[in-house]
Structure 1
Amino acid sequence: MNSAAIEGLLAALEMLPDNATLRLNVARLLIQEGRHAEAFEHLNQILARDAANAEAVDLLVQASAGLADQGNPKNAPSDASHVDPDTKQDPAFDWNRAERDLGPLLPAPFVDGEESMVAPDVATAGEHEAYPLFDIERPVVTLADVGGLETVKKRLSESFLEPMRNPEVARAFGKSLRGGLLLYGPPGCGKTFMARAVAGELGASFLTATLTDIFDKYIGESEKNLHEIFQAARRAAPAVLFLDEIDAVGTKRSNLSGGAGWMRQVVNQLLLELDSMSADNDGLFVLAATNHPWDIDNALLRPGRLDRMLLVLPPDRPAREAILKHHFASRPIAGIDLKKIAARTEDFSGADLEHVVTTAAEKAMMESLRRGTIQPVSMQHVNEALKEIRPSTQAWLQSARSVVEFANTSGAYDELGTYLRARKLL
């Protein structure tokens, strides 16, 4: 499955060699396939252009570790007789005790900087047959679970939630029960989590489409995949269809030339699917997310398509406290001062804050192993973590500054400009 996706993304990358989003996805899949050397090359290309790309740095560490594992014979057990052939574990080590003692220190599963709170969708056999290629979730999170972002939540309520809850009133004012909205902002600030919360508020089905779901190496298959995704969402209505990294799928057609004709067709297909929403798609909401809205084809942002843009910014101080409290909740702690940590983490994204807590927990875990007894996470561990971690949003804010200064003739980024001026970045 990954091999086909890799081939499709590589084909797209040939036409858009400077698209960091595509290249990151290629590298991520290559690492999953164990092709660490190839991933290493792609990540080096990204970092040559953007040395502050935190996601590329993290993946580079993974690729380097994978290369080391592949080429290091020391990783093989020195005495095979000490290894259980079924479990591949050394029976001399008490794994149950380690899990019992250190389990609270280990990171919980997270999705895009937020803990996954999505209940698995319970479907009948018939429903599984109807949607054989797409996972349809029933999120249990709501906007109340989202820390901060009050302006974004208010605009989401006006655009989507209230019309859906009050269909008769909405129709009386000529408000349709469908729509498209673009969430943009720095990576790791909760765009995906926000989309799930919208679906949770509506009690709607939730479908996610990523680059690997769409791109295919064969001509015409990418358009077909895109159509199938929209068809599945229409059948599951009321539904929220979330298009992640929309800048790679809906890239500006004016930037495509030569052999990039097939990419132009993908953009055209996306426009066609969005236009069809004006026909019989009440109850289908399309939410898209991007870190680079300025790379999206302008036709996608016209009325009736993704005609509303919401800026999702790094969390403010109260929101940072809430996020930190959430991530510390499942770990043993002592003397943690959330207000002090929040004051020191301005510009940190939700994902960055999770990284701080996880790194502090790892340091507490290593101290526990050295001492032979559980050591709770303390402010000392947090301070050590903060020395190593910088906010990943800073590089994005600098690139956004150039857009606001020189490419905001339409006023689309006025809200972003206001934020940058308040932060004295403009």
Structure 2
Amino acid sequence: MGIFSNAALAAGACVTGALVVKYRHSLMNMLSNSASSYTRHERVILDRVTKPENLTVTWSDVVGEEGLAAVLHKFLLNPAVLAMRVKHLPLPIYSSVLFYGPSGCGKTLIAKAMAGELGASVINLDLLAVLRKANLMSAVVSVAKSLTPCVVFIKHLDEILEGKHSPDTERVVLLLKTLAECRGVIVVATATKKENISNSILRTFPLQFEVPLPNADKRMKILERALSDCSLYRDVDLQALTEMTLGLSCSDLLQFHRYAVWCSIQENLSEQFPEEEEVADLEKGALCPLAWRHFEEAVEILHFEKERSSDSRPHIYI
């Protein structure tokens, strides 16, 4: 359990949900209209928009981050929706957040859950392309304002800017500050190494949260969910699996589970080309029971894969 209770998280979600309902119908109408009213540069940005109905991620998909979810509801999501309804708020609101930490730990998943909670459209911003063409910067702002509530998502911010002394820093700061002034627009950025981002850019993100490698409690929750539909032999101990997976990311854990399942399936097939009955069982979703040896083999494969990877990143991201 995080620093907030499930009741607090549910209350925050209810407030946001109730406020968002009013805007869903008008937003859907706006997105369904012809793009002819947009300029050529604005249509380039529109091509990278994910519509609300295509966002399937919810907070229930984000395992072990109840505390972070409650903080985001209280200080970012709820105020953002209120700002679209209340003309003069007594205090300035936060409208941008930076998530940083190792790859595969759920930063993008959290961003998607935020957008889904708001019923927002998402601009998956290609920052490099925007920096190459000055007209695209103003197009980002105008499109974001036309699609409120809107999340502008910038992935791998630290890698795009190539260090603290990037010549594009001033332009990025200007873009981020301009977006922060737009009501109903939230900027969400992710980075692997926060220390590679200049202080002037970091100051545009009043909310900054580390998303680290999962601790033992979070690893256990992820494994429990992944294995909930699997049959396990008695020699499989969840606590031991949690200890075995120390140092793995969230996406590594999902890959670990997939490898174990495939080890079991291949061990139980009668031959390289299985019988029709076995194929029928697999098509019905009847998975073979998992034993401890399957997890031992899976973790060996996972470490072998990481050793051969040039950048040590897993192939499946969440």
| Range class of TM-score, shorter chain | 0.5 to 0.7
Matches of 2:253 and 2:112, distance apart in 1: 20
In the alignment, structure 2 segments of 5+ residues that lack a partner are: 1-27, 279-286, 307-318
How far the C-alpha of 1:129 sits from its partner, in A, is 7.9
Q: State the match for 1:126 in structure 2.
A: 34
One-letter code of the match for 1:194?
I
How far the C-alpha of 1:291 sits from its partner, in A, is 0.5
Q: State the match for 2:21 in structure 1.
A: none
For the Cα contact (< 8 Å) 1:223–1:269, is it kept in 2?
Answer: no
Matches of 1:392 and 1:347, distance apart in 2: 15
- Matched residue SS, 2:50: coil
Where do 1:163-182 residues align within 5 Å?
A: 163-167=79-83, 172-176=89-93, 179-182=95-98
Count of equivalent residues: 254
Deviations 1:68-111 (A, max 9, x none): xxxxxxxxxxxxxxxxxxxxxxxxxxxxxxxxxxxxxxxxxxxx
One-letter code of the match for 1:174?
L
Q: State the match for 1:324 in structure 2.
A: 223
- Matched residue SS, 2:152: strand
Q: State the match for 1:158 in structure 2.
A: 74
Where do 1:316-355 residues align within 5 Å?
A: 316-329=215-228, 332-335=230-233, 337-355=237-255
| Matching residue within 127, 136, 146 for 1:235 | 146
Q: Aligned pair 1:283/2:184, yes or no?
A: yes
- Matched residue SS, 2:213: coil
User: RMSD over aligned Cα, in angstroms?
Assistant: 3.3
How high is the TM-score relative to the length of structure 2? 0.68
| Bigger RCO (CA 8 Å, 6+ sep) | 2
Deviations 1:328-351 (A, max 9, x none): 456x53335434322322232101
- Matched residue SS, 2:153: strand
For the Cα contact (< 8 Å) 1:206–1:240, is it kept in 2?
Answer: yes
How far the C-alpha of 1:391 sits from its partner, in A, is 11
For the Cα contact (< 8 Å) 1:241–1:286, is it kept in 2?
Answer: yes
Identity among equivalent positions (%) equals 24
Where do 1:35-74 residues align within 5 Å?
A: none
- Matched residue SS, 2:34: helix
Matches of 2:217 and 2:35, distance apart in 1: 42
Describe the shift of the 1:244–1:189 C-alpha distance in structure 2 as closer, same or farther (beyond 3 A): same
Describe the shift of the 1:297–1:391 C-alpha distance in structure 2 as closer, same or farther (beyond 3 A): farther
Matches of 1:246 and 1:220, distance apart in 2: 13
Q: State the match for 1:314 in structure 2.
A: 213
Q: State the match for 1:221 in structure 2.
A: 132
Matches of 1:333 and 1:311, distance apart in 2: 35
Matches of 1:277 and 1:195, distance apart in 2: 17
Matches of 1:242 and 1:185, distance apart in 2: 16
Q: State the match for 2:194 in structure 1.
A: 293
How far the C-alpha of 1:297 sits from its partner, in A, is 1.7
